[in-house]
Amino acid sequence: MKSKLINKHMWKYVDWALVAIIVLIVGYGIVSIINATASPFTGDESTFAQFMENLNLGTAERQLMFFGIGLGIMFVILLLDYHIVRNMTEIIYWACIVLLVIVLNLGTEVNGTTGWFRIGDYGLQPSEFCKIGVVLVLAKVISDKTEGHEDGINKIRDIIPALWRFAIPFALIMAQPDFGTAIVYAFIFFVMLFMAKTNWKILLLLIAVCIIAVVVIYPFLKPYQQSRISVWWNPEAQEADDLLQTQQAKMAIGSGGLTGKGLFAPGSLSQLDYVPEKHNDFIFAVTVEAFGFIGGAALIVLYFLLISRTFMLAMRAKDDYGAYIIIGVGAMMLFHTFENIGMNIGLLPVTGIPLPFFSYGGSNLLTSMIAYGIVLSVDMRRTRWPIG
């Protein structure tokens, strides 16, 4: 009898449209990374050799390497029945907590956050990978309460298992301190509870508690974190230096116009290093400067297709556990995309949240690939594969 692991019929149940969207976003991102990291062009480059001398391909090559590794991991994961993972969620969750405790005490500080392990020239950010562990454990404990019930969650005691499993990693990440990533965890938590048809009174109570917590925590944030919130909340009252990141990103976006200045345009703001963190946090601004409003709109359409299709797959999952996994991943993608683009155009505070599949960064790219490997695994098993 053939194993389902190698069943030849399984491949037609893979959502290839979702895979194609991911590949398009990653490919677009690599082109933008090459543009962002290139040395300034003068316009006098007349030969191919001179052109290539200005390209610093190391960053793009590393991104492509991470994508290749992630693609392999994604296809290995989709072969595994996600119900096997359900029995391991507590182990995965507590392994994540251990990693967050270790990195808090022994990790390397990057941009004011003690959230990284350094491995040679590479950095590993446990809080990225732990998002998957939290999504899995929340999906399990919430589905334990909702499977077979139509009325959702109506009692506070029913959310306690999910609440404390969310609160522990949230507190550890806040202690790093990484306010932006902590908000991602909170958004995932609330979206999963909302989709579980949790009583609105319970949700309002949790939201009120979160607002109070933000007010209490704010005085303990680092000065640069307080400044980012202040710049967003009341930009007119801020010093010019505090507004620099957002203003430069908005200038780059505005200078792109409708069709953009083109790749490697001499004198562009990104080429002159006016845009900060131009290959990761602010890569959207660099992309719009190069490809214009049309290029930015095309990227937003790709994310709309990715996120909407993700939530659509949740609707056809065969059980609550699988549906909540996909919802958690969709919520993660939605917040990352909305926050990153929002901070690039000045509508939201700067948090250091990368644009998934697009910004440079191995930890986030691998996390996203693993997450979508699980999504594809859930969707493939919405029906029984034929035997033989």
Q: Is 156 exposed, middle or buried (0-12, 13-18, 19+ CB in 10 A)?
A: middle
- Say yes or no to pLDDT of 233 above 60: no
CA distance 58 to 44: 24
Task: Give the pLDDT band of residue 165 (cuts 50, 70, 90).
Answer: very high
pLDDT value for 246:
74
Q: Is residue 255 over pLDDT 50? A: yes
Least Cα distance to 296 among 336, 256, 340 occurs for 256
For the record, the structure tokens of 65 come out as 């390497």
Q: Report the Cα 275 to chain-centroid distance in Å.
A: 21
Task: Give the pLDDT confidence score for residue 326 in this predicted structure.
Answer: 97
- What pLDDT shows up at residue 13? 83
pLDDT confidence band for 3 (50 / 70 / 90): very low
Helix (H, G, I), strand (E, B) or coil at 246: helix
Closest to 106 measured CA to CA, from 97, 92, 116, 93: 116
Rounded mean pLDDT of the chain? 85
What digits encode the pLDDT tens for the residues 25-54? 999 999 999 988 887 776 666 677 767 777
pLDDT given for residue 1 in this prediction: 36
Percent over 70 (pLDDT), the chain: 87
- Residue 181 to residues 79, 83, 86, 331: CA-CA distances in angstroms? 29, 28, 25, 13
Q: What share of the chain is helix, strand, coil (3-state, %, to 5)?
A: 70, 5, 30
DSSP 22: H
Examine the pLDDT at 20 and tell me if it is beyond 90.
yes
For tokens 């048809």, name the residue.
Answer: 197
pLDDT bucket at 145, cuts 50 / 70 / 90: confident
Residues 55-81 have pLDDT tens digits of: 788 889 999 999 999 999 998 998 888
What 8-state DSSP symbol labels residue 13? G
Task: Write out pLDDT tens, residues 261-319.
Answer: 888 777 677 776 777 778 888 899 999 999 999 999 999 999 999 999 999 999 999 89
This prediction's pTM: 0.88
Is the pLDDT assigned to residue 242 strictly greater than 50?
no
H/E run at residue 135: helix 126-146
pLDDT tens-digit readout, 362-375: 889 999 999 999 99
Which range has the worst mean pLDDT, 28-37, 214-223, 225-234? 225-234
Q: Note the pLDDT tens digit of each residue in 304-313.
A: 999 999 999 9
pLDDT reported for residue 22? 97
CA distance 367 to 70: 8
* pLDDT tens by residue, 174-217: 888 888 888 999 999 999 999 998 888 998 998 898 888 777 77
